[in-house]
């Protein structure tokens, strides 16, 4: 059972939440959701460009605690909190796709 602050996105084997992606690893957005306490986050993230199929990468993590995350999606760079990044599911980008 998901807690109110855990986004519910069905997981696919090679998908991970964006906040868990390795720094510099090319990824592809596979799903976007929101948390119960902030249902508007999914819409906001999509408006920023976090849409299914879009290339994304974590560029850097802040210190201490790894927040915020500097994230590039498409050609834009944003700072996201871990909770926001957890709403974005990503998979590794495969060459030739």
Q: Where are the domains of the chain?
A: 34-92
pLDDT digits (tens, 9 = 90+) for 52-97: 999 999 999 998 888 999 999 989 999 999 999 999 999 999 854 4
Instruction: Enter the pTM of the model.
Output: 0.81
CATH architecture assignment, domain 34-92: Roll (2.30)
Residue 93 φ/ψ, nearest 5 degrees:
-75, 130
Q: CB count, 10 Å around CB of 88?
A: 30
CA angle 93, 87, 58 (to 5 degrees): 45
């Amino acid at each position: 059972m998901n807690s109110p602050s855990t986004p519910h996105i069905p997981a696919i084997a090679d998908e991970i939440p964006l906040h868990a992606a390795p720094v510099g690893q090319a990824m592809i957005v596979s799903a976007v959701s929101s948390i119960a306490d902030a249902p508007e986050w999914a819409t906001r993230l999509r408006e920023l460009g976090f849409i299914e199929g879009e290339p994304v990468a974590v560029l850097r993590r802040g210190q201490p605690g790894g927040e915020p995350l500097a994230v590039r999606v498409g050609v834009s760079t944003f700072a996201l909190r871990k909770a926001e990044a957890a709403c974005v599911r990503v998979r590794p980008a495969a060459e030739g796709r």
